[in-house]
Structure 1
């Protein structure tokens, strides 16, 4: 065993980097100082699998076949399968209706060795995790930053790979208490994940066999980057991710992340104080900004002279990719001297799967039996949609939680309607992270194209629906809390809302002042008035950092389970079907007038006009009215708006804008009124204004 000060020696390092799904293997293989061949250790990684037991898109059998193929490439006893957490929870119906046992069976069959605990492992509380999930899993669940009633959970595991000891440390996002039901987390404490990783990494490299020792150390963080553009952008957007990249101990050879469902394979610099000993030149051609390139250089010294960088990888979600990191290890010194990394795409179907492989065959047997049972229960039609109604998409990927979506707003409307006979509500809210699948239109299904299974997959968490009273000012605070606190995994979480709530925002304004107008049923929100609000119990308890909900008064649990009420909501509309609604609830606005004078001209801009849900049209025109009188129709500009507020003003691109110049008609009566802007895509934004007296004629 080697101490930290001798872990890295003279070497030639070759590593690769990419911003997309795949990183190419290096042209030159790493060698030891004397030119001899290196040992290889391959780490395969998954994250946020979320019970994807499915025949296609994703195919569970193809997922298994890809893992087995990568194992075969690595060679016998030279690979290790790991996970960054959220293996279960938020699952497809086939897994969910069996309490995720099929998913656990599949991962057991695949020989998952260790996994970080994810926040979704706690969906039903810590007792359920420790009493149901953990005992059923053949792998080690790790959470070095969690204690239960003062007792720490398992922190690390040790595995022999290619004759080397690989130490795996697991941690979970410190935000977990805001992401699950608080009632199930009594006595559970979460600490800083980086501090926990560094503490355990120190133990695994201190030369004391009594507390574990490892040749290679891997950190599995169930925490990740908010976006996958580049490591520099991701670090700038998230203090937590920046902390992971820059402060994780240099003794950690690889960082796997999860939670944010992003796909990237990046190169992160080790802490400066732990990477001295570099001699010679380093070619960083093509590495700026996280672009594809390679790093080569001669390293020397006996203190910490190995790679100055390490892989920072996240394998997306839902089993769509398998992360692969391969280390080159000097067989004499047992030191890592180079690495390659990539995210390998999983085929959408199992057409080419090798069923002669006993592991793949075993997984297929589990999947076939599970899907057959699920088909009996879940195939009955419950509803109809006339077009796809989906979450927000970005770069071809669903579940963009930073953006408003057609599905989120439909569910927000459902929440409001569902409680109509339980005291009613003025507004319905839905958190974007609770939408786990889409409503796809299949015209061939004449008897209803949304099945019980498909409906359940949209809202799988079985929350109850809760109503409460919030003041108008509190409603504003709720909307402001879409911008998440500093250090959150995602900088913004877009709420779905009932269709009677609209608002405007200025993304460049200071925190707390970004919401510039709010209307309910076309009338301005009164800050002092009380409004009845409905939401799922998770959100009502302040989940996803929407803490203002927890300050509500006259809180009532309706007893309605959201998934069951949702099925009824769809069933009631099965004959006529539900049409996709692509109207936006929120638009960005610049230079909105507060007070207007008759006869005067005013110019302002509305931006972020277009949803990114599948099938959403592009806004072409916007018509402006004042008191029922038309003030004109204006052509919209399609594409990303980086002009109105400047580049990267918002946490996600602003899609489409319209520049408006209107003259307030002469004779407009003084008093409270409103500008109403209606787009050809159905968005209706009401901007309250105060009209003054008609401007006097100029003196001639």
Structure 2
């Protein structure tokens, strides 16, 4: 363990540095050191979890496992240390602070997370797509407070007078369809140490394709770079000393690169954030990103070809993004930016007594209100863990289990095939930090896997429609690094040839060993999110003889299946999808 911690300490000393001093200074510089700390994709991660980016030895000496990282107690400890080093510290977010959350936060409508982040001094955050999971009205309640919720069984159960967020969610590219006004602040200015730091926030424009359409029906989501650039001159007119972007869109380090989360100034970033970053005004000094749950600290050319920092801090608060700026408040510019991803080492802080005691108390309150539900026994697995895929473009052991659970739960409606979206699988079963004696799985473990509360739907699709559906896994908005392989139930199989042209990649579709017929009708099951075309699987909207099952929640289907089958599950990938690369 000591060797691992030494590695972390050394890694945190590495920073990307960009000199941004302009050539046209006219006044004697008045430099101010400002530190910006950021969290992205927190997803209600009040408690620590396993961070695979750093491996540490198992206690029994059998191998290694991910470092226990994140959680509000360790984040609070880190922020306290940073603020002691530099009182000119501002804490911000990259979106998805709430939504897709574990039981301890989700059963309380994520109110403990909003309150915790507020108490930790968060000032502003980009909106994320998951902020819209429960609809616009509920998001505005999360921002402004009150108990008028579409989930009265959860709202105001943590605090009977839920106060709302003290920070502001920012959405420069979100507007009402009627009238074109923005329901959210587009930017935020922090006055600190005599300097003015401006933050412009945006969420990915494709948000309507990855959330329930009814929740955002009144909104338009505009081009990210164009919307951000609109507010740059407005901030300049207010004589800010630095402009930073908080954007809930990201990328990943390309396959084969040696770069990791702690690599300084990587040159190998790919994905949707890259063309956006290349269009964002050069006056923006750095871009804090999110959404893809990746850790990277990269450089992407701005419109003038000058390298600019684009950074993301993985997920669940395992990493905090840290920017150290030297700003010149006399000439209103940035002289230098350094960037690093900071490992939030819960295990180390617990050992040396530097967790945030206020956050420990808040977490204890949330746990006391949810542990009875969380600790309900479900099953004993025959293996210690059933894993999801490391990415969304692979079949996984857990994906196979969930699809089988959904097929079993909808047999009475005639289901023959079940499809599960990989993005809806949020954790391993259980998380590495939650493995228990006897391989016990409780409800909290299962809920962490499927926290959305989607209900089940059954419909008819033809064989040709099923093929077209599977082609959508790697085309359109799901092309390239955005590929999403639907997890499929037992008895169904097919081949996906990624070397073939778009539209001709899926073949050899079989159900119980028999080839699917294009004109034949098949009964298929999926969750309510997919049924409305979520994740760009629009073929589902062509289904006929649709049966909604509002009383059958996906997590309950998985619980029932695990109770019946848990001890016999092997935790291995079943090989239902043959992928040719």
Given that 2:36 and 2:89 are in contact with CA atoms closer than 8 Å, whether structure 1 keeps it comes out as yes
Corresponding position of 2:389: 392
- TM-fit CA distance, 1:382: 1.2
Given that 2:195 and 2:329 are in contact with CA atoms closer than 8 Å, whether structure 1 keeps it comes out as no
Q: Distance in 2 between matches of 1:179 and 1:450?
A: 29
Q: Distance in 2 between matches of 1:28 and 1:92?
A: 38
1:467 to 454, 458, 472: 458
Supply the RMSD in Å over aligned alpha carbons. 2.7
Establish whether residue 46 from structure 1 lines up as the match of residue 39 from structure 2. Answer: yes
Corresponding position of 1:197: 228
Given that 1:428 and 1:535 are in contact with CA atoms closer than 8 Å, whether structure 2 keeps it comes out as yes
1:101 to 100, 104, 111: 111
- TM-fit CA distance, 1:147: 1.3
2:377 to 375, 381, 390: 381
Structure 1 portions without partners, runs of 5+:
1-19, 276-307, 394-399, 590-649, 651-700
Change (3 A) 1:106 1:444: closer
Corresponding position of 2:558: 566
Given that 1:62 and 1:353 are in contact with CA atoms closer than 8 Å, whether structure 2 keeps it comes out as no
Structure 2 portions without partners, runs of 5+:
1-9, 50-67, 146-163, 260-265
Change (3 A) 1:377 1:550: same
Q: Secondary structure at the match of 2:244?
A: strand
Cα deviations by residue, 1:661-696 (Å, 9 ceiling, x for unpaired): xxxxxxxxxxxxxxxxxxxxxxxxxxxxxxxxxxxx
1:539 to 527, 530, 537: 530
Establish whether residue 506 from structure 1 lines up as the match of residue 497 from structure 2. Answer: yes
Cα deviations by residue, 1:342-382 (Å, 9 ceiling, x for unpaired): 00001133414655x8xx22111101222233222211211
Q: Distance in 2 between matches of 1:403 and 1:319?
A: 25
1:230-629 → structure 2 map (5 Å cutoff) = 233-235=268-270, 238=271, 240-272=272-304, 308-349=306-347, 350-352=349-351, 360-387=356-383, 388-393=385-390, 400-421=391-412, 423-440=413-430, 445-446=437-438, 449-486=440-477, 490-559=481-550, 560-573=552-565, 576-589=567-580
Q: Distance in 1 between matches of 2:510 and 2:144?
A: 47
Corresponding position of 1:147: 175
Cα deviations by residue, 1:266-290 (Å, 9 ceiling, x for unpaired): 1222212xx7xxxxxxxxxxxxxxx
Given that 1:167 and 1:213 are in contact with CA atoms closer than 8 Å, whether structure 2 keeps it comes out as no
Q: Distance in 1 between matches of 2:474 and 2:248?
A: 21
Q: Distance in 1 between matches of 2:216 and 2:440?
A: 38
Q: Secondary structure at the match of 2:46?
A: coil
Change (3 A) 1:496 1:227: farther
Corresponding position of 2:89: 79
Q: Distance in 2 between matches of 1:121 and 1:28?
A: 32
Give the TM-score, by structure 2 length: 0.83
Change (3 A) 1:160 1:35: closer
Given that 1:428 and 1:534 are in contact with CA atoms closer than 8 Å, whether structure 2 keeps it comes out as yes
Given that 2:211 and 2:534 are in contact with CA atoms closer than 8 Å, whether structure 1 keeps it comes out as yes
Q: Distance in 2 between matches of 1:444 and 1:331?
A: 54
- TM-fit CA distance, 1:451: 0.5
Q: Distance in 2 between matches of 1:488 and 1:195?
A: 23
Change (3 A) 1:425 1:255: same
- TM-fit CA distance, 1:28: 12
Corresponding position of 1:222: 248
Of Structure 1 and Structure 2, which has the larger fraction of its residues in helix?
2
Change (3 A) 1:525 1:134: farther
Tell me whether 547-556 or 52-61 shows the greater mean CA deviation. 52-61
Given that 1:408 and 1:497 are in contact with CA atoms closer than 8 Å, whether structure 2 keeps it comes out as yes
- TM-fit CA distance, 1:572: 2.6
Given that 1:21 and 1:265 are in contact with CA atoms closer than 8 Å, whether structure 2 keeps it comes out as no
Given that 2:456 and 2:528 are in contact with CA atoms closer than 8 Å, whether structure 1 keeps it comes out as yes
Change (3 A) 1:372 1:249: same
Corresponding position of 1:137: 165
- TM-fit CA distance, 1:460: 0.8
Query: Greater CA radius of gyration, 1 or 2?
Result: 1
Q: Distance in 2 between matches of 1:92 and 1:262?
A: 20
Change (3 A) 1:451 1:487: closer
- TM-fit CA distance, 1:329: 2.2
Change (3 A) 1:220 1:134: farther
